[in-house]
Amino acid sequence: MSAVLTLLRRELKLAARAGGGGGMAVAFFLIAVSIVPLGLGPDLNLLGRIAPGFLWVALLLSALLTLDRLFQADQEDGSLDLLMLAPLSLEVTVFIKALAHWLTTGLPLILAAPFLGLMLNLPENSILPLVVAMLVGSPALSLLGAVGAALTVAIRRGGLLISLLVLPLYVPTLIFGVSAVSNVLISSPGSSGQASLLLLGAVSLVALVVGPLGGAAALRANLR
Amino acid sequence: MVRNLHALANPTRFLRLSGLLLPVIWVLALGLLGAGLYMSFFTAPPDYQQGETVRIMFIHVPAAWLSLFGYTLMAGASATALIFRHPLADVAAKSAAPVGAAFTFLALVTGALWGKPMWGTWWVWDARLTSVLILFFLYLGYMALWATIEEPVRAARAAAVLALVGFVNVPIIHYSVEWWNTLHQGASVLRLDGPAIHPSMLWPLLVMALGSTFFFLAVMLTRMQAEIYRRRVRQLQLARASTEAGAF
């Protein structure tokens, strides 16, 4: 247990001291959100309608942009070899790395999302559903992303490849995440926001299994 | 079953056996496809609603089936490669991917060609279309991973992990997209209460499906042979390079 905490503390410290922590991700999120009205025009009705979807897409993209260094930085300075030799099982290591990734990119973005939502004229009654849906759904982004990061650990400039590998796997999270919010806006018959939220949780739970297992297998495959 | 698989693990034996089987499979594939195309274009009646455009279905439906068949085959071969360290399984998975991707692309293109006269648009963001498109992306990612990692053994393992993770996600993606938006018609051949299409159209469809499957297998086996030879050439080049380096 102390090994787990030590690893987590190391990851968070590294993120805070060398990577700018969550600040960089939030800045990206802010810029991504502010170029949308520039592209689509400042029509508040239109912006309010697309706000939940766009906030989710921006969350996906900013998670993706930070993924390629998840294992690569450790692989370059050799600490990944030490982590693999350590008594901690590799699956747990991958889980901790994914958790740290979520804490440093996912969580700050979720905290920033309500304010950016206001900028996009997101109706006030859907701010809480948005935050809840993001809290439930975004762990899947880091967990599945860890598989992509582990697969491309030995590839220089693997960033584009990661997007190609990982984005298809993000589709369920995006769909359920957006529908959990939009169903509050337009209550469509036969489906409710709660069902989407439950399915979103199911996707995250599947990712909780697939992510560490797949990530560890991919690391073993790449660094024999 | 497992022993049979291991008997095939010897590439030389595989090459001999596939060399014997391949001509038969090619003849079956081309013969069935020829017969199937003749039936689809000349003997099958035009649909009372869709007219002649219904004939696109005889290519579209087998291609859509094979897009899923190909991914299943790839995932099965990847699992065999990871679990049993079967030396030919990763060759099989690698060879199946471009063929499956080609059929997926064919399904998308024929679907668009059919959609223009029927739905009035080349592309709609409908559940089936979207999930087939995402399946196509999964194929592309798999092939890209093979192409970027240089060493075959490492590439094989990494690609196998990706194929399996993707395979777990395919049903989830499918149902999430279904939930999202659906316009495409439901299944009309594989149903519990019997097929909902007339025999005069069902037969050409089945012949085409069988012919396309044999075509898939023929191309895949040919690609497997080529891949084995490619690896042998690579081994020989590496061996020669190392002896030449040793001479200095």
Q: Could B162 and A179 be called an inter-chain contact, meaning their C-beta atoms sit closer than 8 Å?
A: no
Domains in chain A, number: 1
Q: What does the pLDDT average to over B118-138?
A: 82
Chain B residues within 8 A of A154 when measuring between CB atoms: 149, 154
Q: What does the pLDDT average to over B91-110?
A: 92
| Residues spanned by the domain of A28 | 2-223
Chain A residues within 8 A of B128 when measuring between CB atoms: none
Window from A10-24, B66-80, B161-175 with minimum mean pLDDT = A10-24
Highest mean pLDDT among A176-180, B76-80, B177-181: B76-80
- The pLDDT value given to residue A175: 86
Residue in chain B lying closest to A222 (CA): B154
Q: Could A218 and B162 be called an inter-chain contact, meaning their C-beta atoms sit closer than 8 Å?
A: yes
Using CB atoms, pick whichever of A164, A176, A224 lies closest to residue B140: A164
- pLDDT tens digits for B201-214? 788 888 888 989 99
Q: What is the ipTM of this complex?
A: 0.81
Q: Could B165 and A147 be called an inter-chain contact, meaning their C-beta atoms sit closer than 8 Å?
A: yes
- The pLDDT value given to residue A188: 47
Q: What's the average pLDDT block by block, 10 residues per block, for chain A (224 residues)?
A: 84 77 79 86 84 89 84 85 86 92 89 88 85 91 92 81 89 86 56 76 92 91 79
Q: pLDDT grade, residue B194 (50/70/90)?
A: low
Residue in chain A lying closest to B171 (CA): A172
Cβ–Cβ contact A88 with B under 8 A: no
Q: What does the pLDDT average to over B74-96?
A: 89
Share of chain B above pLDDT 70, in %: 86
- The pLDDT value given to residue A85: 85
Residues 129-188 of A with CB under 8 A from B: 144, 147, 151-152, 154-155, 158, 161, 164-165, 167-169, 171-172, 175-176, 179
Structure tokens at A179: 């529908």
Q: Could A152 and B179 be called an inter-chain contact, meaning their C-beta atoms sit closer than 8 Å?
A: no
Of residues B164 and A44, more confidently modeled = B164
Using CB atoms, pick whichever of A176, A191, A221 lies closest to residue B176: A176
Mean pLDDT of chain B: 82
